[in-house]
Structure 1
Amino acid sequence: MTHVTVYSTGPSCQRCRLTCQRLDALGIRYDLVDIHAEHNAEIRAFLVDELGYREAPVIEAGDARWSGFRPDLIDGLASGLGIG
């Protein structure tokens, strides 16, 4: 299965929670990274300044990356169809 990382802005982010809940429900394992944590400042700068993301969460699944709560893309991961 594709390695998945969820870059979150923390527990108050509804889209982040929904994304994690969907991944959990489908049995997709992922790493959760809080980009507001002080030790993750470089990751946050990369996602925002370098890549231009302005919406949380940012999901990285293999070579694909997207932002926001995208159940269609998450379902694609679960079904083995890939992204998009």
Structure 2
Amino acid sequence: MNETVGIIVYTKPNCQPCRMTKLNLDKQGISYTVVDLTETPAALTYVQDELGYSSAPIVVIDDHNHWAGFRPDLIAKIGH
């Protein structure tokens, strides 16, 4: 199991890229926390206003390392 902590995956219901991102993280053995953007208005404001994203999923590793969309290439980098 990778020791990376603090990864947050911002998702929304019925989001195929969100599901694929979580499955890929699970496959890599990477721990993460899921935040549903439809249930957490402050999180939605954060990813839109602070990070500048408008589509889910948004994966946040730290303040300088984050992305939107299903990115297996970037997920693979976390696992190494």
Could you say which residue in structure 2 is the equivalent of 1:9? 12
1:56 aligns with 2:59: no
User: How many residue pairs were aligned?
Assistant: 76
1:42 aligns with 2:42: yes
Give, as a single letter, the amino acid of the residue that structure 2 aligns with 1:24. D
Residues 1:51 and 1:62: Cα distance change in structure 2 (over 3 Å): closer
Could you say which residue in structure 2 is the equivalent of 1:25? 27
Could you say which residue in structure 2 is the equivalent of 1:77? 78
Give, as a single letter, the amino acid of the residue that structure 2 aligns with 1:65. H
SS in structure 2 of the partner of residue 29 of structure 1:
coil
Normalising to structure 2: TM-score of the pair? 0.87
Give runs of ≥4 in structure 1 deviating > 6 Å: none
Unaligned 5+ runs, structure 1: 80-84
Unaligned 5+ runs, structure 2: none
Single out whichever of 64-73 and 49-58 deviates more from structure 2: 49-58
